Amino acid sequence: MALPKLETPTYTLTLPSTGKQIKYRPFLVKEYKILLTALESDASEIHRLITELVDVCTFNNVNALELPNFDLEYVFLQIRAKSIGEMTNLELQCNNCETKISFDLDISKAEVIKNPEHTSKVVISDNMTLEMRYPKFSEMAEIYENFNTDKAVDLLCICIKSILTPEAVYDDFTKEEITEFVNSFSKQQFEKIEQFFLTMPKLTQHVEQTCSNCGSKNEVNLEGLQNFFV
């Protein structure tokens, strides 16, 4: 006799970037085992698996590879909360006496915070505006893994969707062309584009903990998936 099939619960969340509601389910046991195994692998394998799990657990209704970084981090954290538990144990170092403070965190309360001054259109001169797109999870993961100036410039270049002038819209260019274009910026123009990345939405959770050793109050904003136990 065939064994009965279990019904997997489904939940709903809202994508921070678009406000679209999507359904998702928790990891299955076999998927969780794969995740645990992958955590012992290199970073690229972990990032690949996280992307694939988001696809599968959202019933392939989102293209995880194309999601903005903060969307994918948020979705994965919500899936993880429903799969393994909302509480996870973390540590932070006291700012005063450097004692390690252990605490439990409800990761389901993490939010994507949007800066009201943020804009995807960056005015770099009186007659030129750049239309930007958000970096994807894989693109940000590479920056986190091995940051250097060249990689930062490469990320900036690939996030330029189009160049707008009064005469034309330029949205078809090679990597070499856009790199040469960005390298011609003045320091002030480059800093304007940096502001796009500095103010873009971020997965964030505010933490306040009192040190048991010295009594100091410690406050920190956890930002990005790499700061949460996943």
Per-residue pLDDT at 229 = 56
Contact 216, 92 (CB under 8 A): no
Contact 223, 212 (CB under 8 A): no
Per-residue pLDDT at 37 = 78
Contact 63, 48 (CB under 8 A): no
Positive or negative: CA dihedral 178, 117, 79, 39: positive
Q: Name the pairing type of β-strands 121-125 and 111-113.
A: unpaired
Residue 77 confidence class, pLDDT cut points 50, 70, 90: very high
Q: Is the pLDDT of residue 135 over 80?
A: yes
Looking at residue 98, its amino acid is E
DSSP for 159-184?
TEEEEE-SS-EE----HHHHHHHHHT
Q: Is the pLDDT of residue 146 over 50?
A: yes
pLDDT digits (tens, 9 = 90+) for 95-111: 999 999 999 999 999 99
Average pLDDT over residues 92-96: 95
pTM recorded for the entire structure: 0.89
Average pLDDT over residues 72-93: 93
Q: What angle do CA 217, 222, 223 make, to 5 degrees?
A: 150
Give the domain ranges of the chain: 11-111+203-227, 121-199
Other Cβ atoms less than 10 A from the Cβ of 115: the count is: 12
